């Protein structure tokens, strides 16, 4: 029996009483309690070889990565070297440990006394990936889309210096149904350049207008790539009404961003006006103080001039005979 194969050690606390917690909704969707216990039990937990989750770990490290690589090969643009870098960044040690913590696998993981679970979180995350490879195709696609592709969407936005946006968008379309994507230019009545991203069958994907011919092409290439990078791109290219709703939503988001920018600019303008008024008030106060000090200095100069004139006038008056005799007697 399994109990006889388990090492003589205290049995880990059973955390499945928390199994109904909403945090474990996705785990409940894929696992039963018994299966999750099996997948998260390390071989060191058993006294004999051959038991444990090592096969699931192997499947997670190689088979699951192959499934993700197939998704990248089918739907991601770029050469093989770029796809290799993207795949490697999807399975970094930090991301594996983060999944271990987010899914709270430490509540269910089991290992021997001499095995440090916290130092080997990635092993149990790989075991989860390995079990996913045994599920049906819909469950695999759901898991890869939610926990691998969506969480790594920022990797697809990497823009090297000489990135050709139109080439990437065209590559995505060709990988879906073989159509080609090109840009058509025309001049509007207002003298603006209108760029349209058009498929080989005549379907218009998007358009952009600018005063600059080159910038109009870049805008429409970027918009087309954003649309074709969506998970629902197949449905978008085959359903005109859905395509129209997506474009309308893009325009609404663009208008909202523009309104937010204008609001921030208006706030900045008001703040600049306030600072300008405060600077003007401070300048007026300095000017008033300067004029006051100048007036006081002018008054002091006038008073000093008046005293000097009075003194000079006094000295200029002729000396009386009495004073002259007094000064002569004083000299004797």
Asked if 200 and 79 sit in the same domain, the reply is no
Determine the Cα–Cα distance for residues 211 and 198; give it in Å rounded to an integer: 20
Across the range 298-308, mean pLDDT stands at 93
Question: Does residue 71 lie in a domain region?
Answer: yes
Last residue of a domain, one of 131, 157, 183: 157
* pLDDT attached to residue 1: 38
> pLDDT (tens digit, 9 = 90+) per residue, 253-276?
888 989 999 999 999 999 999 999
Neighbours of 183 (CB within 10 A): 20
- Binning pLDDT at 50, 70 and 90, where does residue 11 land? very low
Is the domain of 180 the same as that of 54?
A: no
pLDDT category at 240 given cuts 50, 70, 90 is confident
| 107 shares its domain with 225 | no
Token representation of residue 282: 């401070």
Task: Provide the β-strand partners of residue 187.
Answer: 193
**Predicted pLDDT of residue 157:** 62
Residue 49, pLDDT above cutoff 90: no
In a domain, residue 30? The reply is yes
Model-level pTM?
0.46
36 contact partners, CB below 8 Å, separation of at least 6: 27, 108
- Are residues 67 and 144 in contact, defined by beta-carbon separation less than 8 angstroms? yes
Q: Per residue in 123-162, pLDDT tens?
A: 999 999 999 999 999 899 999 988 898 877 767 765 554 4
Q: Are residues 24 and 108 in the same domain?
A: yes
Domain count within the chain: 2
pLDDT of 16 over the 60 cut: no
Over the range 70-91, which residues count as b (16 or more CB within 10 Å of their CB) and which as e?
Answer: ebbeebbbbeeebeeebbeebb
Sorting pLDDT into bands at 50, 70 and 90, what band is 19? Answer: low
- Chain mean pLDDT for the chain: 85
**What range defines the domain where residue 85 resides?**
2-157
Name the strand (E) or helix (H) holding 193. strand 193-199
* 123: nearest Cα among 152, 91, 95, 96: 96
Which of the pair, 164 or 196, is modelled with greater confidence?
Answer: 196
C-alpha–C-alpha distance, residues 263 and 258, integer Å: 8
Q: Which residue has the tokens 């000017």?
A: 287
Domain stop point among 125, 157, 189: 157
169 shares a domain with 131 = no
Cα 319 to chain centroid distance, Å, stands at 98
Rounded CA separation 7/44 (Å)? 9
Beta-carbon contacts of 3 under 8 Å, excluding residues fewer than 6 positions away, are none
Rounded to 5 degrees, φ, ψ at 50 are: 95, -10
Residue reference for tokens 């920022």: 154
Last-in-domain residue among 134, 157, 180: 157
Q: Which two tokens stand for residue 213?
A: 């011919």
Q: Establish if 268 belongs to a structural domain.
A: no
Q: How far apart are CA 199 and CA 183, in angstroms?
A: 9
**Residue 254 and residue 116: Cα distance in Å, rounded?**
51
CATH for 116: 1.10.1520.10
- pLDDT exceeds cutoff 90 at 296: yes
For residue 7, pLDDT beyond 50: no
Domain assignment present for residue 127? The answer is: yes
Q: Any idea which residue has 């139109």 for tokens?
A: 166
């Amino acid at each position: 029996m399994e109990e006889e194969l388990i090492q003589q050690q205290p049995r880990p606390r059973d955390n499945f009483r928390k199994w109904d917690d909403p945090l474990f909704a996705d785990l409940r969707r894929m696992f039963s309690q018994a299966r999750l216990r099996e997948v998260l039990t390390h071989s060191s937990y058993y006294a004999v070889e051959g038991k444990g989750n090592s096969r699931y770990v192997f499947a997670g490290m190689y088979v699951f990565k192959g499934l993700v690589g197939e998704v990248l090969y089918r739907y991601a643009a770029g050469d093989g070297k770029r796809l290799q870098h993207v795949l490697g960044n999807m399975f970094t040690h930090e991301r594996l440990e983060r999944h271990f913590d987010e899914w709270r696998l430490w509540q269910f993981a089991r290992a021997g006394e001499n095995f440090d679970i916290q130092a080997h979180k990635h092993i149990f995350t790989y075991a989860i990936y390995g079990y996913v490879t045994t599920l049906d195709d819909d469950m695999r696609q759901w898991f890869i889309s939610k926990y691998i592709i969506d969480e790594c969407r920022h990797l697809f936005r990497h823009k090297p210096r000489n990135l050709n946006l139109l080439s990437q968008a065209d590559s995505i379309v060709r990988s879906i149904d073989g159509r080609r994507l090109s840009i058509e230019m025309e001049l509007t009545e207002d003298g603006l350049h209108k760029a349209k991203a058009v498929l080989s069958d005549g379907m218009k994907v998007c358009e952009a207008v600018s005063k600059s011919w080159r910038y109009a092409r870049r805008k429409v290439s970027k918009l087309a790539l954003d649309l074709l990078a969506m998970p629902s791109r197949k449905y978008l290219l085959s359903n005109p009404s859905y395509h129209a709703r997506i474009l309308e939503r893009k325009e609404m988001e663009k208008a909202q961003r523009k309104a937010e920018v204008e609001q921030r600019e208006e706030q900045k303008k008001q703040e600049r006006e306030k600072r300008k008024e405060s600077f003007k008030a401070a300048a007026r106060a300095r000017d008033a103080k300067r004029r006051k000090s100048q007036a006081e200095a002018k008054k002091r100069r006038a008073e000093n001039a008046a005293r000097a004139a009075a003194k000079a006038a006094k000295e200029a008056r002729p000396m009386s005979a009495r004073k002259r005799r007094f000064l002569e007697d004083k000299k004797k």
